[in-house]
Amino acid sequence: MTPMTQAGEAAPAATEGAVLPPLRIGGHVIGSPVVLAPMAGITNRAFRRLCREYGNEGRAIGGASGATSLYVSEMITSRALVERTPESMRLIEHDPDENPRSIQLYSVDPATARAAARMLVSEDRADHIDLNFGCPVPKVTRKGGGSALPWKKDLFKAIVGAVVEEGAKRDIPVTVKMRKGIDDDHLTFLDAGLTAEAEGVAAVALHGRTAAQAYSGTADWTAIRMLKETVTSIPVLGNGDVWSAEDALRMVRETGCDGVVVGRGCLGRPWLFTDLAAAFAGTSARVTPTLGEVADRLRTHTAYLCDFYGEEERACRDIRKHIAWYLKGFPAGSTIRNSLALVDSMAALDTLLATLDPDAPWPGEAAEGQRGRAGSSRTVALPDRWLESRELSEEHRRTIAEAELSVSGG
C-alpha cells in the first residue's frame, strides 16, 4: 500500500506544467525544489524516512525526476562529531536508499568546522553539508553561535570557507541556512549571502525572521526577495510560514526564490511532501487523510523510531511530542490526547489508537495553518559587547571557543 493510499485520496489532479525547474545543489538534482529544514529532535533518520516516502508519492503524481526533495539531518555539533560521541554518530546515520545524504553542521570555530567536514568527506558519510547560522536558541546565541555569528564577518567567512574547501575535495556541495540578522537594527543577511556566494557555497537559505523574533510573528518574505535580487549566481531558498503547498507556491511568486525550505509546516504532517511535489509539478493533487489514516502514519513513525533508537521505550518517549501535531483539528478528546502523550510501549500505542474513530474525515481548515512552537519576540542573548564591532575581538574569540562545548545536538 503506497503512502498516498494510506494517507487519503488526493484531489483530482489538474496539470498545468512545472512551477519551477529542478533544484540543483552542486551535482545533485532535486526534482521537487523543496528542502526539509533541519529541526533539533525532529529530523532524525526515522522522520526523514517518513517524509521521503511521501515525497516519492508526490514525484509519481507529478512525474518529477531526480531526488524528490532534500531531507536534511538535525543539527550536529562539529566538536561532538570530531570526538565521535555516540549520539553524534547516530545522528549522521542514513538509510541505505537515502540520497543525497544531507547533514547539517553547527560550529563557531573554523578549525573544528574543517575537521568535522573533513571527517564527513574523507569517510564518505555525506553527499551534502549544510551550515547552521540560523539557530535563535539563547544557549547558542549567548556564546556567539547560530544566528548571532554572521555579525562577525571574518568568523563567518572563515567557517564557510573552511567547510567549502573540504567539501570540494570530493565535490560535496555546501549550503548555508541563516536568518535576517540579530534584530531589525542588526541585519546581516545580505552581506552574509554575498560572502557565502563568494566563498563557493552551492545555495543559501533564508528564514525571514530575525533571532529576536525566534518563531513569533510573520516571516518577512520581502527579505527573501531582496536576497534573491542580491545573490545571483546560486540558488536562493525561502523559509518561514510555509504551512501548505499553496503557501509554497505563493512564496515563489512573491519572492522569485528557487525553492522552499519547510520546517514546522510538516510537523505531524509528513504528507505535506506529497502536496509540495505535486504542486511544484503543476498539479492540484492534495492529500486529505482520515483520522484512521493519520493514526496509521503515527504508528509507522513510531515503528521507524524504534528502528532508529533500537529501543521501544525511547521511541515512545520521542513520539509523544508529535501527538498534538498529528491530531490537530481532529475530533479526539483531551483524555485520549493526554494518554497518547504518556505512551510508553507500542502495545499501549496500539490500544489507544484503536479508540479513535478511523472514519473521521480530514477536518480541513482546523488542521491547517501554524503548528509547532511560536512564542514571542525577545532580546537576544549575546556575548558581552558583541554588537560593538563586526570584527572578532580576542575576548570574543575566547568566548566562542567554549560555545561548541555547551551546545547539544551531537
**So which residues are the catalytic ones?**
135
Per-residue CA distances from 149 to 152, 153, 316 (Å): 6, 8, 36
* Helix, strand, or coil (residue 74): strand
State the DSSP code for 9. P
**Sign of the torsion formed by the C-alpha atoms of 68, 208, 205 and 371:** negative
Whether 12 and 1 have beta carbons less than 8 Å apart is answered as no
Residue type at 83?
A: E
* Helix, strand, or coil (residue 308): helix
Whether 375 and 215 have beta carbons less than 8 Å apart is answered as yes
Q: What is the radius of gyration, based on Cα positions, of the chain?
A: 21
User: Phi and psi for 188 in degrees, rounded to 5?
Assistant: -130, -5
Joined together, the cell numbers standing for residue 35 give 528542502
Within its chain, how far is the Cα of 183 from the centroid? 22
Whether 260 and 237 have beta carbons less than 8 Å apart is answered as yes
User: Phi and psi for 175 in degrees, rounded to 5?
Assistant: -125, 165
State the DSSP code for 262. E
Separation of alpha carbons 341 and 10, rounded Å: 30
Find, among 332, 339, 329, the residue nearest to 356 by Cα. 332
Count of other CB atoms within 10 angstroms of residue 389: 12
For 344-400, what is the HEC assignment?
CCHHHHHHHHCCCCCCCCCCHHHHCCCCCCCCCCCCCCCCCCHHHCCCCCHHHHHHH
Please report, for the chain, how many H helices and E strands are present, in that order: 17, 12
